[in-house]
Amino acid sequence: MNGPARAAVAAIALVAGCVGSPHEPREPVAVPSPASEVVATFRGEPITVGDLETSTLGELILDPLFEQYRRERGIVATEAEIERFLANAFDSPDERTLVASDDSESDDEFDRQLAEAWIVDWKTSRSMYEEFGGEVIFQQTNPLEPIGAYRAFLRQQARNGAFAIHDAGRAAQFWAAFSAEHAIVIPPERVDYSVPWWEMSRPRVGRAPESEVRRDG
């Protein structure tokens, strides 16, 4: 075998040694599934794309944070407050049920759940505004929604490591809900949480609010 031929054989052997024999078993290459991609972390636990197929960032981050806030401060609706709400928020007993049925006992329970949700929502708003301040906006389900206080509270929680959103797009969407301009901003001098809104007037009650703010992400 001449010199060039030996060099060619050596080169082929070198390449074969690098890539290995096609008959040798190879380690499987792990291809990450999109569903397993971590987009956020909450209390040290990952939130994946798969988690967001059945839930939202609002449900996975906001709900437990607001629930903890209320629990730590003992924010609840008392029986007396529920009775006052039902007495003030509806024009007549016939309007006290949003979804009428033939089961008056079930309707009454629905009314009480509706009242409890609104009372807890208002108490949470008042507490957060007193603690964090900031701008207050009008919402149909919350005439005095302290959006600035919500933002300050969430930033505090993020700084303390309660949650982090790693996906830039989802993070921008999440925070935009608390930073965007709103149609009706209440002047600071008109922000008054001394009396619940349902005791200041007799509005026609619409859809019940969730007792914690939902911001989908």
Answer whether residue 216 shows pLDDT above 80: no
Confidence of residue 145 (pLDDT cuts 50, 70, 90): very high
What percentage of residues in the chain have a pLDDT greater than 70?
69
* DSSP code per residue over 21-52: -TTS--PPPP---GGG-EEEEETTEEEETTGG
Q: Show Cβ contacts of residue 117 under 8 Å, excluding neighbours closer than 6 positions.
A: 208, 209, 210, 211
Give the model confidence (pLDDT) of 151-180 as tens digits.
999 999 999 999 999 999 999 999 998 987
Q: How confident is the model over 104-132, as pLDDT tens digits?
A: 667 788 889 989 999 999 999 999 999 99
Tell me which amino acid residue 138 is: F
Mean pLDDT of 183-210: 75
Residues 128 and 145: their CA atoms lie apart, in Å, by: 10
Residue 206: what pLDDT?
46
